[in-house]
C-alpha cells in the first residue's frame, strides 16, 4: 500500500517531459519569429508609403497614387545619377579592396610571430565605427590644418581638393571605405588561404613550377568561393553605403556622391517626401536581392565543381 501510494504521484512526470520536448523547438524558434515579424512590419510599411503621395509638409494631401512615385523616379535624371554614383562607388570599393586584401593575405599566409602580430594590427580599422573613421579622415583632409595636405605639400602637391571638389570626392570616400573595410577582406581570404590543402602546393614546389602558374592555376581557382563570399558581402554593403558618404560630404559637392541611401535620407528628412524616399529604398532592396541571388547561385555552382558534382 505504501509503495503504490508513493509511486502514484511520479507517473505524470514522463508526460510533462514529453510535452516540454514537444514544445521546445517552438520555444527556440520564437525569437527568430519575433525578429522576422520585426523586419516584415517596416518592410510592408515602406511598400505602403512608396505607393502614396506622402509629404510631411502637406499631411492632409496624403493619398494612394500607386506607382506614380516609381514612374517619377525612372523619368528623373537625378535618379539615374544616383544609380551611376552607387554603381561606381560599389565597383571601385569592392575592386580595390579585393585586390589589396588578396595581396596582403598572400603576404600573411605563413604562420609566424610577425604575421600574427600584423594580422592583429590590420584588424584595428575594422573596429572603428565608419562614422568615426569618416570624421577622422575629414580632419586629416582638412585644407587648413589637415596632416595629409601637409604631407602632399612636401612632395609638391598643393591644394588637393579631397572631398571638397566633385572630381576628387569619389576618390576620397573610396579611400576611407578601403581603409575601414579592407581588413574584412583580409580576414576572409587569409582564412581561405590557410584552409587550402597543402598537397598541390608541395607537389608544385617539388616539380619547380613557377609561382605565377601556382597562383593562377592552383591558388586562385581553389580560393574563388572565398573571393565570391567576400565580394558579395562587401558589394551588398557598398551599394547601401550611407555613413561614410554622408559623414564626409553629405552627398556633395553638388550631386557627385548622392548614392541610394543618401538620396533616400535627403528625400525623407530634407524634402519631407516620405513616399519618394520609400520608393528609392525599395528599388535599392530589389537591386540587392537580384545581385545577392546571382552571387549565391554562382557560389553554389563553384562548390559543386569543387566536390566533383558538376
Residue range 48-85, pLDDT digits in tens: 999 988 888 887 888 888 899 999 999 989 999 999 99
User: What was the pLDDT predicted at 95?
Assistant: 94
> What integer is the mean pLDDT of 29-50?
88
* Stated length of the chain: 310
Q: Are 93 and 234 a contacting pair, CB within 8 Å? A: yes
Whether the pLDDT of residue 4 is over 60: the answer is no
How many whole angstroms separate alpha carbon 122 and alpha carbon 181?
10
For residue 171, CA distances in Å to 2, 56, 252 come to 87, 35, 13
Binning pLDDT at 50, 70 and 90, where does residue 225 land? confident
DSSP state of 159: S
Please state the φ and ψ torsions of residue 63, each to the nearest 5 degrees: -160, 160
User: What was the pLDDT predicted at 90?
Assistant: 94
> What integer is the mean pLDDT of 174-186?
93
What residue has cell string 604575421? Answer: 115
Residue range 192-223, pLDDT digits in tens: 898 888 888 888 888 888 888 888 888 888 88
β-partners of residue 64 are 52
For the chain, give every domain's residue range: 80-306
> What integer is the mean pLDDT of 23-50?
86
Residue range 131-145, pLDDT digits in tens: 899 999 999 988 888
Distance of CA 156 to the CA centre of its chain: 37
Binning pLDDT at 50, 70 and 90, where does residue 277 land? very high
User: What was the pLDDT predicted at 310?
Assistant: 42
Q: Are 192 and 223 a contacting pair, CB within 8 Å? A: yes
CA angle 108/112/116 to nearest 5° reads 60
How many whole angstroms separate alpha carbon 56 and alpha carbon 54?
7
Question: Nine-digit cell at 36?
Answer: 522576422
Binning pLDDT at 50, 70 and 90, where does residue 146 land? confident
Between 3.40.50.2300, 1.10.3720.10, 1.10.3210.10, 3.40.50.150, what CATH number should domain 80-306 receive? 1.10.3720.10
How many whole angstroms separate alpha carbon 1 and alpha carbon 269?
79
Please state, rounded to an integer, the average pLDDT across all residues of the chain: 85
Question: Nine-digit cell at 231?
Answer: 565580394
Q: Where are the beta strands (DSSP E) in 128-220?
A: none
* Burial of 140: CB neighbours in 10 Å, binned 0-12, 13-18, 19+: middle
Question: Which conformational region is residue 308 in: left (phi greater than 0), alpha (psi within -120 to 50 degrees), or beta?
Answer: left
Give which of 249, 208, 204 is closest to 222, Cα–Cα.
204
How many whole angstroms separate alpha carbon 175 and alpha carbon 178?
5
User: What was the pLDDT predicted at 70?
Assistant: 92
How many whole angstroms separate alpha carbon 104 and alpha carbon 189?
9
User: What was the pLDDT predicted at 228?
Assistant: 87
Q: Are 230 and 193 a contacting pair, CB within 8 Å? A: no
Amino acid at each position: 500500500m505504501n509503495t503504490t501510494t508513493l509511486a502514484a504521484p511520479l507517473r505524470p512526470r514522463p508526460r510533462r517531459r514529453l510535452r516540454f520536448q514537444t514544445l521546445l523547438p517552438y520555444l527556440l524558434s520564437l525569437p527568430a519569429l519575433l525578429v522576422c515579424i520585426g523586419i516584415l512590419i517596416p518592410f510592408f510599411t515602406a511598400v505602403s508609403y512608396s505607393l502614396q503621395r506622402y509629404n510631411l509638409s502637406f499631411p492632409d494631401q496624403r493619398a494612394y497614387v500607386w506607382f506614380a512615385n516609381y514612374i517619377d523616379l525612372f523619368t528623373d535624371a537625378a535618379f539615374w545619377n544616383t544609380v551611376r554614383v552607387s554603381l561606381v562607388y560599389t565597383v571601385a570599393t569592392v575592386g580595390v579592396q579585393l585586390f589589396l586584401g588578396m595581396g596582403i593575405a598572400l603576404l600573411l599566409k605563413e604562420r609566424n610571430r610577425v604575421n600574427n602580430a600584423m594580422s592583429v594590427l590590420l584588424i584595428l580599422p575594422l573596429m572603428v565605427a565608419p562614422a568615426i573613421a569618416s570624421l577622422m579622415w575629414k580632419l586629416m583632409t582638412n585644407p587648413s590644418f589637415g596632416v595629409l595636405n601637409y604631407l602632399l605639400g612636401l612632395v609638391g602637391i598643393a591644394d588637393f581638393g579631397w572631398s571638397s571638389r566633385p572630381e576628387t570626392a569619389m576618390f576620397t570616400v573610396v579611400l576611407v571605405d578601403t581603409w575601414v573595410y579592407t581588413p574584412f577582406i583580409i580576414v576572409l581570404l587569409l582564412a581561405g588561404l590557410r584552409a587550402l590543402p597543402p598537397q598541390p602546393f608541395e607537389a608544385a614546389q617539388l616539380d619547380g613550377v613557377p609561382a605565377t602558374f601556382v597562383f593562377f592555376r592552383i591558388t586562385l581557382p581553389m580560393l574563388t568561393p572565398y573571393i565570391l563570399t567576400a565580394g558579395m558581402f562587401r558589394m551588398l554593403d557598398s551599394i547601401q553605403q550611407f555613413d561614410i558618404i554622408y559623414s564626409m560630404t553629405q552627398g556633395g559637392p553638388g550631386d557627385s556622391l548622392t548614392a541610394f541611401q543618401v538620396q533616400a535620407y535627403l528625400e525623407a528628412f530634407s524634402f519631407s517626401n516620405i513616399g519618394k524616399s520609400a520608393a528609392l529604398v525599395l528599388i535599392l532592396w530589389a537591386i540587392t536581392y537580384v545581385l545577392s541571388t546571382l552571387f549565391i547561385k554562382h557560389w553554389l555552382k563553384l562548390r559543386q565543381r569543387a566536390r566533383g558534382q558538376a
